[in-house]
Amino acid sequence: MIGFEESGVSFGLGRLAVIAGPCALEGLDHALMIAEACKRVCDSLGVGYVFKGSYDKANRTSADSFRGPGMEEGLRILSEVHRRLGVPVLTDVHETWQVKSVAEAVQIVQIPAFLCRQTDLVVAAASSGRVLNVKKAQFLAPEDMGSVVDKCRRAGNDRVMLCERGSVFGYRQLVVDFRSMPIMREMGCPVVFDATHSVQSMGGLGGRSGGDRRFVRPLLRCAASLGVDAFFLEVHQDPDKAPSDGPNMVPLELFGGLMAEVKGIWDRAMESGFASLDWVEMP
């Protein structure tokens, strides 16, 4: 069975995991508040939980946009969340020189979608030995991710997850092709569905990205019915005042109900045998 474990959380192996947290880190107290709330929900549902947060949003639309606390402070926050709560933590890297420090602080290193074709970055991250979450670029076909996986494996790392986060469909618009998840699963990797970035409108608010969080729920329901290995979503106690990606994020107060709903769909799909990210012959 495809999958692996990290810090007590299973990715694949017939188990569901949830990766959730704010877009950009806003301080230790804020990170702990979000992480503790999400962990309680996931623990109650029997789901593995990973905290995510970015120390630097390097691909912001405007030079004036909030980017986060920076690498030194951000990695300190992430390390403290892991130490206090015992959950694995995830953050992204943008340049090869960042990989060593990031890999020392977190359990899962993420390659952003726009950078998944950057060979040196992918190889450096894979060589760290950490679990990787590689986001499929908005401009790539799912089949193209096979080359990314090959780079990681040649670097000695087969603990790789592939993440669907929507594909470009005209200016500023993204759509989700649900065929991509079984296609990427054929590469022998657990597959993650990023529901909140999939509803993003890149640059849709002029100097910053927009989005429509109303569509997070139906997209998650679809992914749950496929038996996807992990959900990825950004949450915030007040998304409309969040410094980054607010229009896409799920209000923290709705996180528990949403997760209970989609976990129920996931359970029923898995129990019925209907859900399969592995190709099957049509009858």
Residue 37, H or E segment: helix 28-45
Give helix 216-226 / helix 252-272 axis angle, nearest 10°. 30
pLDDT at 81: 98
Q: Which two tokens stand for residue 158?
A: 């087969």
Token pair listed for 7? 């810090």
Fold of the domain built from segment(s) 3-272: TIM Barrel (3.20.20)
Length of the chain: 283
Please state the domain extents for the chain: 3-272
3-state secondary structure of 123: helix
What pLDDT score does 204 carry?
A: 47
* CB-CB contact of 84 with 108 (8 Å): no
The Cα 204–Cα 215 span in angstroms is: 16
How many CB atoms neighbour CB 261 within 10 A? Answer: 14
Q: Which residues pair with 9 in a beta bridge?
A: 6
CA dist., res. 63 & res. 280, Å (int)? 48
Pairing of strands 89-92, 48-52: parallel
pLDDT along the chain (283 residues), means of 10: 94 97 97 98 98 84 69 97 98 97 98 97 98 97 98 98 94 92 95 96 58 93 96 97 90 98 96 70 55
Supply the pTM of this predicted model.
0.93
Cα–Cα distance for residue pair 23/25, rounded to 1 Å? 7
